[in-house]
Amino acid sequence: MLLKLRGGLDSFLVTVLLGLLIGSFAIFGIGSSVFTSNNQQIATVGDTVVPTQQYANRVQRRAQTLQGQFGAQFTAPQLIRMMGLDQQILQQMIAEAALSEHLSSLGMRAGNKELRAELETYEGFVLPDGTLSRDMVLQALNNTGLSRAEFMNEVRRSISQRHLVSAFEAESMMPREYAEALYVWQAERRRATMIDVKAADIEGISEPLESDLLAYYELNKGAYVTEERRSYKYILVTPQQFMAEIEIPEDQVLAEYESRSAEYKKAERRGLQQVSFNTIDAAEAFLTAVNSGADFVEAGASVTSFSAEEIELGEFEQAEAVADFGDDSADAIFELAQGAVSAPIESFGAWNVFKVVSITAAEESSLDDVRDEVTESLKLFAAEDRLYDMVDTVSDAMGAESALAAIAQASNLPLASVTEVSARGLSTSGEPAVTLAEEYTILQEAFSKEVGIEADMIDVDPRDPSKGFYLVEVEAINEPAERELAEVRTEVIAAWTKEKMLERAATIAETAKTQLAAGEDPEAVALSINATSFEAKNVARTADQGSSLASSIRQLIFELDKGEIDYDRSADGDGYVIVRVDEITPGNPEARKDAVDTLMAQLNAQAVDEIFAQYQRYLVDSYPKKINTALQQSLFAETPQQ
């Protein structure tokens, strides 16, 4: 049915282009220009070229992904340099090229029969009757910008690589005995008795002597220092700074409203259900059943291979219905009343029956309804123009002046100051001195610079220059300094007391261990030391979702033999947990043959991956390589090279 065709096509755009080629032949953003010759190639392996544009795209994409993880404080060039992304990805692509060169030398090229069979595995290319649709293939290629020849070549290479990989596979590379022994260890379960001694519950710790307090302070001076604080000046320029002074004429507001009429005029939408059949007879039999009272979705799911969820298509405007189902189907759909069912309509080699389940009337917002929104968008557009003009103004000022105050004066921009702020953005009184996102970005830059370094123009958001820019100049750095005992006396007393409580808890845990070893009842032992006793049942080596058992205690349980007793710090650090292992149940491979089969498959796959990785390294060493180092450096320089 067309739902599956449409869904499959979406899957093609994501899955085929981003996940079609297994292993090292994955395509990332390849356009037709990538396959054209270029005198400035980044590298060659034998006769195989590493495409420069594809290489640059991969590096930039990886840097952008990391930017999303680390935040905007690092630019893409900084991340590329710091993490060596250019070198990492170049080595990956050289390995890919070596494999491609090897496939060519072996004459491994998929034939047309294999190519067709491969394409038939992509749901978006197959009609309801199971035949491959040439039109759907061409439509998808047109949407992606790939030529038919380029795409087919990549599919052929994917098939060839899969055949090569299969040469490393064996039904059982690892002996089953190994998998069974590993399963016995992995699936082992244990039962343990535990006593939890909380340091916070311990009473009777006396006040420290002055000599004790001084000794503790001297030993832990590093914990009692002031925060590093910095004072800096900055210029911040954003589009919002210009919006208040911008006036938009009425004729411009009207023109903008009319140009965005599609946005403010919502066409009628219809919620649709659809069932598709290979023959007119099947479609008419289904329609007869529905007209006799059968539920459209239930009847459709019972006589076709499609689920109830697939029959529900969602809402469509008429233009969307034309694009998905064709003119005739769209016209018929939009002539139906709500709840009505269409006659069978032939389209894309199938007979489709539609039901209109809802109708959302067309809506239109008048200019008065959206005037503020339209005006604000025009102001922002004009403000962005002023922002870009200000870039030139500030650049000229930077060429004539070095001090930030002079640059601000020459550019007629406000100069802001921040005094003695911590890296957390707090003032000396502990109040937030930095509140806005842009100010926090500037704070991070200020803590990465030294006094006396001239200000650079930096984008507020490296991914979007229209957000604005800033310049920051560090004036003073107050280095962390030790605080005198008198100043931190209360903190030192609290830390000393906590340490003594932990020492007492360790002593109590040792006593409890001795009592348990002597055969005393765990609950009685726990009661005598003001602790809690409990039993951990069916403990696995790895934590199940929602498990509250600390990893260190779990590890201790599996380090001890049956009947052995020991203790370790609790997960929160507030005391100790005494553990006695009461029962050990090894995994039973005979009872869980399916789990052993799964483990065998994983072990074999890992072995194949490792052998193939070694084979790739061998190929990389076997073929002559040329790397254009100068081009590589110029592609990702921090500043454009002259």
Instruction: Give yes or no: residues 40 and 162 share one domain.
Output: yes
Whole-number pLDDT of residue 272: 94
Instruction: Give yes or no: residues 510 and 559 share one domain.
Output: yes
Lowest model confidence (mean pLDDT) among 256-260, 393-397, 638-642: 638-642
Whole-number pLDDT of residue 237: 95
- Once rounded to an integer, what is the mean pLDDT over residues 392-411? 93
**Contact in structure between 179 and 596 (CB atoms under 8 Å):** yes
Whole-number pLDDT of residue 527: 93
Contact residues for 516 (Cβ-Cβ < 8 A; gap 6+): 193, 195, 522, 525, 565, 578, 580
Q: Is residue 339 part of a domain?
A: yes
- Once rounded to an integer, what is the mean pLDDT over residues 217-227? 91
Q: Cα separation of 584 and 215, whole Å?
A: 47
Q: Is residue 10 part of a domain?
A: yes
Return the percentage of the chain with pLDDT > 70, whole number: 85
Lowest model confidence (mean pLDDT) among 46-55, 108-117, 137-146, 191-200: 137-146
Whole-number pLDDT of residue 410: 94
CATH number at residue 331: 3.10.50.40
- Which tokens sit at 293? 């009272």
Whole-number pLDDT of residue 394: 94
Whole-number pLDDT of residue 22: 29
Lowest model confidence (mean pLDDT) among 138-142, 344-348, 570-574: 138-142
Instruction: Give yes or no: residues 18 and 129 share one domain.
Output: yes
Q: Cα separation of 301 and 190, whole Å?
A: 48
Whole-number pLDDT of residue 129: 63
- Once rounded to an integer, what is the mean pLDDT over residues 515-520? 94
**Contact in structure between 533 and 194 (CB atoms under 8 Å):** yes
Q: How many domains in the chain?
A: 4
- With a cut of 50, say whether residue 562 has pLDDT above it: yes
Q: Which residues pair with 189 in a beta bridge?
A: 585
Of 336, 361, 386, which residue is a domain's last? Answer: 361
Q: Which of 146-155, 218-227, 602-611 has the highest mean pLDDT?
A: 218-227
Whole-number pLDDT of residue 639: 45
**Contact in structure between 51 and 41 (CB atoms under 8 Å):** yes
User: Residue 136's pLDDT band (boundaries 50, 70, 90)?
Assistant: confident
Whole-number pLDDT of residue 72: 58
Q: Cα separation of 418 and 231, whole Å?
A: 5
SS3 at position 392: helix
Instruction: Give yes or no: residues 378 and 463 share one domain.
Output: yes
Whole-number pLDDT of residue 565: 96
- With a cut of 90, say whether residue 523 has pLDDT above it: yes
Q: Is residue 55 part of a domain?
A: yes
- With a cut of 80, say whether residue 139 has pLDDT above it: no
Instruction: Give yes or no: residues 431 and 327 share one domain.
Output: no
Instruction: Give yes or no: residues 338 and 313 share one domain.
Output: yes
Q: Which residue has the higher pLDDT, 407 or 162?
A: 407
Of 431, 459, 478, which residue is a domain's last? Answer: 478
Of 457, 478, 499, which residue is a domain's last? Answer: 478
Report pLDDT digits (tens) over 149-204. 657 767 777 787 777 777 766 555 778 899 999 999 999 999 999 999 999 999 88
Q: Which residue has the higher pLDDT, 630 or 505?
A: 505
Own/partner pairs, 387-394, CB within 8 angstroms, 24+ separation = 387/237, 387/238, 387/239, 387/242, 387/466, 387/468, 387/469, 390/237, 391/457, 391/469, 394/235, 394/237, 394/457, 394/469, 394/471
φ, ψ at 404 (rounded to 5°): -65, -40
Q: Is residue 642 part of a domain?
A: no
Own/partner pairs, 301-305, CB within 8 angstroms, 24+ separation = 303/275, 304/1, 304/275, 304/276, 304/277
Return the percentage of the chain with pLDDT > 90, whole number: 44
- With a cut of 90, say whether residue 473 has pLDDT above it: yes
Whole-number pLDDT of residue 15: 34
- With a cut of 80, say whether residue 140 has pLDDT above it: no
CB atoms within 10 A of CB 617: 12
**Contact in structure between 192 and 579 (CB atoms under 8 Å):** yes
- Which tokens sit at 444? 């991070």
- Which tokens sit at 205? 């710790």
Q: Cα separation of 252 and 489, whole Å?
A: 68
Instruction: Give yes or no: residues 533 and 389 share one domain.
Output: no
Half-sphere exposure of 575 (CA within 13 A, CB side): 16
Instruction: Give yes or no: residues 137 and 78 share one domain.
Output: yes
- Once rounded to an integer, what is the mean pLDDT over residues 313-328? 88
Chain Cα centroid distance, residue 298: 38
Q: Is residue 336 part of a domain?
A: yes
Q: Which residue has the higher pLDDT, 404 or 29?
A: 404
**Structural domain that includes position 352:** 268-361
Report pLDDT digits (tens) over 338-355. 999 999 998 766 899 999
Report pLDDT digits (tens) over 7-25. 333 333 333 333 333 233 3
Q: Which residue has the higher pLDDT, 164 or 145?
A: 164
Report pLDDT digits (tens) over 357-381. 999 998 888 888 888 988 998 999 9
Whole-number pLDDT of residue 546: 63
Q: Cα separation of 485 and 219, whole Å?
A: 12
Q: Cα separation of 443 and 420, whole Å?
A: 11
Report pLDDT digits (tens) over 438-469. 999 999 999 999 999 999 999 998 878 889 99
Q: Which helix (H) or strand (E) element contains residue 266?
A: strand 265-266
Whole-number pLDDT of residue 415: 95
What residue type is assigned to position 524 of the chain? A
Q: Is residue 526 part of a domain?
A: yes
Q: Is residue 38 part of a domain?
A: yes
Instruction: Give yes or no: residues 411 and 463 share one domain.
Output: yes
Q: Is residue 263 part of a domain?
A: no
Lowest model confidence (mean pLDDT) among 287-301, 418-432, 502-516, 598-612: 598-612
SS3 at position 280: helix
User: Residue 128's pLDDT band (boundaries 50, 70, 90)?
Assistant: low
Instruction: Give yes or no: residues 66 and 123 share one domain.
Output: yes
Exposure class string for 512-529: b at 16+ Cβ within 10 A, else e = bbebbeeeeebeebbeeb
Instruction: Give yes or no: residues 288 and 356 share one domain.
Output: yes
**Contact in structure between 290 and 282 (CB atoms under 8 Å):** no
Read off the DSSP letter of residue 640.
-
Read off the DSSP letter of residue 173.
S
Nearest-CA neighbor of 585 among 35, 185, 262?
185
Lowest model confidence (mean pLDDT) among 29-43, 75-89, 534-548: 29-43
- Once rounded to an integer, what is the mean pLDDT over residues 430-439? 90
Instruction: Give yes or no: residues 72 and 154 share one domain.
Output: yes
Q: Cα separation of 604 and 598, whole Å?
A: 10
Q: Cα separation of 383 and 352, whole Å?
A: 52
Q: Residue for token digits 């340099």?
A: 81
Half-sphere exposure of 4 (CA within 13 A, CB side): 20
Whole-number pLDDT of residue 638: 55
Mean pLDDT across the chain: 83
Chain Cα centroid distance, residue 511: 49
Contact residues for 605 (Cβ-Cβ < 8 A; gap 6+): none
- With a cut of 60, say whether residue 641 has pLDDT above it: no
Interhelix angle for 296-303 vs 280-291, to 10°?
150
φ, ψ at 568 (rounded to 5°): -150, 165
